[in-house]
Structures are given as structure tokens and as C-alpha cells.
């Protein structure tokens, strides 16, 4: 019945793009504002679970843990270039989706506006990815969670899932 009723119709859902015109800032965030909102986001319950989990993250976490302080920055730079840079638009879209959820839940308007501005700063930013406050925090948070899992003796489950 479904086939007959919808034959010839394209049933592909359109991508959801929340509108935030009322939150548009006249200027972008300063670096310090970006650092501040990034710290707040990673401590916010709406952002619980914002980290990457893949075998590559575990590999970078081990490299970061064993590197000298001067080499850690290079590991972070590679992490951002290899894992985050290809996903910038997806990360931006997820930040905007989170901001929309915050708006619907009645969160403070100024905070939502800063999240929207942070999302807007991800694409086309002149800073190297590892120096962008949010991407840097995202990379460090992901590696910290991976290091904790490694310290507890586990990433076998992750390897098994990635082989599928």
C-alpha cells in the first residue's frame, strides 16, 4: 500500500537547519570569549558525551600521553587536522542542533547566542584548527576520555566495533 500511495514521490527527509537570525552577533567572538564558552560547554549537561571515540583517538591519546610537552602540541595539531577538520561542518551542525535544544528548553538567551557564534566560527576561521578554542577543547576532551579508558585497561570493544 505504501508503494502505491507514495509512488513517484521523493521521500528523502530534508536536512534540519535551525534558524538563529535573532541570535546573530554583529561581531564574532574574541579568542578569550571562544575559550570561555568552550569551557562552559564541556562542563554543561547539554554537552555530556561530546567526544570522539575511535581507534584513532586511542592512538592519538597514547601518543599525547607519552610525548614530551613540546611534542604534545604536534600530536594535538595532527589530531585536529586528521580527525576534526574533515568533520567541521558536521560539528558546526551539531553545535547548532544543541543550541536549538537549549533554546527549546528555555536556556539563557545570551548563552545560546554565544553557542551560535561559536558554531559560526568553526568554518572559515583563519586560525589553525588546533588553536581554535572549541576544537582544541574537543580534541583534548576526546583524548582524555580515551586515556582514562586505556588506564582502566580497555579499548578492545572499540576495536571490535570498528572491524564491522
pLDDT in tens, 130-143: 999 999 999 999 99
Q: What is the DSSP string of 17-59?
A: ----GGG--SS---HHHHHHHHHHHHHSGGGTT-S--SHHHHH
What angle separates helix 69-79 from helix 55-66, to the nearest 10 degrees? 160
Structural domain span for residue 56:
28-163
Q: Residue 142: inside a domain, yes or no? A: yes
For residue 17, what pLDDT is reported?
Answer: 73
pTM for this one? 0.81
Report pLDDT for 163: 43
Query: Does residue 8 fall inside a structural domain?
Result: no
Is 84 part of any domain? yes
pLDDT tens per residue across span 55-105:
999 999 999 999 998 899 999 999 999 999 999 999 999 999 999 999 999
In a domain? residue 7? no
In a domain, 90, yes or no: yes
| Closest C-alpha among 113, 117, 112, 90 to residue 102 | 112
4 within domain boundaries: no
What was the pLDDT predicted at 1? Answer: 47
Whether 23 is in a domain gets the answer: no
Separation CA 92–CA 123 (nearest Å): 8
Report how many domains make up the chain. 1
Average pLDDT of every residue of the chain:
85
Whether residue 71 is contained in a domain is answered as yes
Tell me: the pLDDT tens digits for 13-62? 777 777 777 766 656 788 999 999 999 999 999 888 888 888 999 999 99
Q: Is the pLDDT of residue 157 over 80?
A: no
Amino acid at each position: 500500500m505504501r508503494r502505491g500511495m507514495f509512488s513517484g514521490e521523493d521521500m528523502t527527509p530534508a536536512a534540519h537547519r535551525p534558524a538563529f537570525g535573532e541570535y546573530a552577533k554583529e561581531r564574532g567572538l574574541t579568542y578569550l570569549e571562544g575559550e570561555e564558552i568552550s569551557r562552559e560547554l564541556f562542563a554543561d549537561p547539554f554537552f555530556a558525551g561530546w567526544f570522539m571515540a575511535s581507534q584513532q583517538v586511542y592512538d592519538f591519546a597514547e601518543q599525547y600521553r607519552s610525548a614530551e610537552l613540546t611534542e604534545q602540541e604536534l600530536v594535538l595539531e595532527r589530531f585536529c587536522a586528521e580527525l576534526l577538520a574533515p568533520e567541521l561542518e558536521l560539528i558546526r551542525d551539531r553545535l547548532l542542533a544543541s543550541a536549538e535544544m537549549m533554546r527549546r528548553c528555555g536556556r539563557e538567551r545570551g548563552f545560546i547566542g554565544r553557542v551560535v557564534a561559536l558554531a559560526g566560527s568553526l568554518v572559515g576561521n583563519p586560525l589553525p584548527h588546533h588553536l581554535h578554542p572549541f576544537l582544541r577543547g574537543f580534541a583534548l576532551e576526546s583524548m582524555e576520555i580515551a586515556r582514562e579508558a586505556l588506564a582502566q585497561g580497555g579499548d578492545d570493544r572499540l576495536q571490535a566495533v570498528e572491524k564491522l
